[in-house]
Amino acid sequence: MRIRFWGVRGSIACPGPETIRYGGNTPCIEVHCGDHVLIFDAGTGLRPCGNALVKNVKIRTVDIFLTHCHLDHVTGLPFFAPFFTNGYKVRIWAGNLMPDSSVEQVMRKLMSSPLFPVEVEIFRAAIEFHDFRSGDVLQPFEGVKLLTAPLDHPDGASGYRLEYGGKVFALISDTSGFPGARDRELMSLARGADLVVYDATFTEEEIATRESWGHSTWLRGIRLAEQAGARQLCLFHHDPSHDDDFMDTLAADANDARPGTLTAREGQIIDL
């Protein structure tokens, strides 16, 4: 299992010289399970991810799993190069959307006037849309198992636990944290995982006035990783106001508190 980060920011993309080391694109994580490609979230990082994928002629099937459909997690969809490539198959998955809504409706709304100049019919790839309920167990390929769980976030979100080849990758973003309203669900995703990628948007000082925003802190991530017996924690969904110098300090503090803790950067690759 190989994990690559294409976007690590939350809320809004923030390119520029002050974010060059950690990156300014919004969430997108590419995971290879053998020959299978799974992408988690479709923020602005999805564009460079797609540009790299189409250069690999051996890959012609991709699955995109959305934690939720807030703009920072879907805004890259219209710019995903495989959509414009004949012979490509892309499946898009999302759970617990608003009543009477679907992931296909979300994508069609995103690509409609006055928000966007062309509609989904411009795409050449074969596209499938899959809705699920958080808590469902998904098996997109033989030997690839995805456990899902609801997270504590406005409008709802889904966490993922990916099991393949004896390794476990957990993505827990966006959520208010641990301890909190979803402790049982967070533990079910993180327990014994080789890598937990966790929403660490705020510091403890910042979250004091933002408890209802549906995001967490690195300290809460460490508490979860410790209680779940996770091997390694990786901080993710960085606040756009946190420049590289701020992130360096945050990363050092987190690593001091739990040695081996990583802080996600664009382009970073982790092999399990």
Token pair, residue 84, equals 């414009």
* pLDDT, average across residues 62-68: 98
**What percent of the chain has a predicted confidence (pLDDT) above 90?**
95
Query: Would you call the peptide bond into 256 cis, given omega within 30 degrees of 0 as the criterion?
Result: no
CA-wise closest residue to 27 among 8, 48, 49: 8
- pLDDT tens column, 94-117: 997 766 789 999 999 999 999 999
What are the angstrom distances between the C-alpha of 148 and each of 68, 98, 137, 138?
A: 12, 17, 6, 8
- pLDDT tens column, 17-27: 999 999 999 99
- pLDDT tens column, 154-185: 999 999 999 999 999 999 999 998 988 999 99
CB atoms near residue 213 (< 10 Å): 16
What's the length of the chain?
272
* pLDDT, average across residues 137-152: 96
E strands, the chain, where?
Answer: 2-7, 28-33, 36-40, 61-66, 89-95, 126-132, 137-141, 144-151, 157-164, 167-172, 195-199, 233-236, 262-263, 269-271
CB atoms near residue 246 (< 10 Å): 16
Predicted model pTM: 0.97
State the total domains in the chain: 1
Query: Which residue range(s) make up the domain with 14?
Result: 2-271
Read off the CATH number of the domain in which 153 is found: 3.60.15.10
- pLDDT above 90 (res 74): yes
In this structure, the strands spanning 167-172 and 89-95 are: unpaired
CA-wise closest residue to 266 among 81, 32, 43, 11: 43
CB atoms near residue 146 (< 10 Å): 23
